């Protein structure tokens, strides 16, 4: 029996998401896309930080972008230029279309939605996506993946689909996506 590659598993997961009308993937950065927590104070280079990207997320981001799904990074890190540089190394073709919302004071969400957790980050990223292309993104068409249980709790309470990533067991994420959709 042939084993399925991580790339194929990610493509299958994205296909499942799009079949359920999920068209926006919001990803936390520290301890989610990468396997460490920088504390918003990474001192090394983008190349060094890129070595901490979980292969799962490289494949997931590429599969999502190739399926015309919107992707954003939503983080409490103020190191947005560093995260941008990592994305450019990770997914150079797609990085320009991936909004990053961090604690860098370069954006403000003034809508009437929740300001708790990553809600304002996601709403602001959606505003940017809508300015770039014609699409409709709703709470129900959004999936947040984050290692912080509080951000997941807030998202779920606001009607946003969300999956907690166990930083010590990222391999479980794709199974969790399938379970979410059952």
**Whether 25 contacts 143, CB under 8 Å:** yes
Whole-structure pTM value: 0.95
Percent of the chain with pLDDT over 90: 90
pLDDT tens digits for range 52-68: 999 999 999 999 999 99
Q: What are phi and psi of 133, to 5 degrees?
A: -155, 160
The two structure tokens encoding residue 164:
């907690």
Band (pLDDT 50/70/90 cuts) for residue 108 is: confident
Question: In 3D, which of 56, 61, 71 has the Cα closest to residue 24?
Answer: 71
Task: For each of the domains in the chain, give its residue range(s) and CATH number, in order of start.
Answer: 6-181 (3.40.50.1000)
């Amino acid at each position: 029996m042939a084993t399925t590659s991580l790339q194929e598993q990610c493509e299958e997961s994205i296909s499942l998401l799009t079949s359920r009308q999920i068209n926006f993937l919001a990803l936390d950065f520290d301890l989610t896309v990468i396997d460490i927590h920088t504390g918003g104070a990474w001192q090394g280079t983008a190349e060094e930080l890129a070595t901490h990207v979980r292969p799962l997320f490289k494949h997931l981001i590429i599969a999502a972008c190739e399926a015309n799904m919107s992707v954003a990074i939503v983080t409490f890190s103020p190191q947005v230029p560093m995260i941008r540089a990592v994305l450019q190394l990770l997914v150079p073709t797609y990085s320009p279309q991936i909004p990053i919302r961090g604690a860098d004071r370069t954006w403000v969400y003034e809508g009437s939605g929740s300001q708790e957790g990553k809600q304002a980050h996601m709403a602001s990223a959606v505003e940017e996506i809508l300015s770039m292309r014609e699409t409709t993104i709703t709470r129900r068409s959004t999936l947040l993946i984050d290692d912080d249980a509080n951000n997941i709790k807030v998202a779920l309470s606001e009607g946003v689909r969300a999956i907690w990533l166990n930083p010590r067991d990222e391999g479980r994420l794709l199974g969790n996506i399938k379970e979410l959709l059952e």
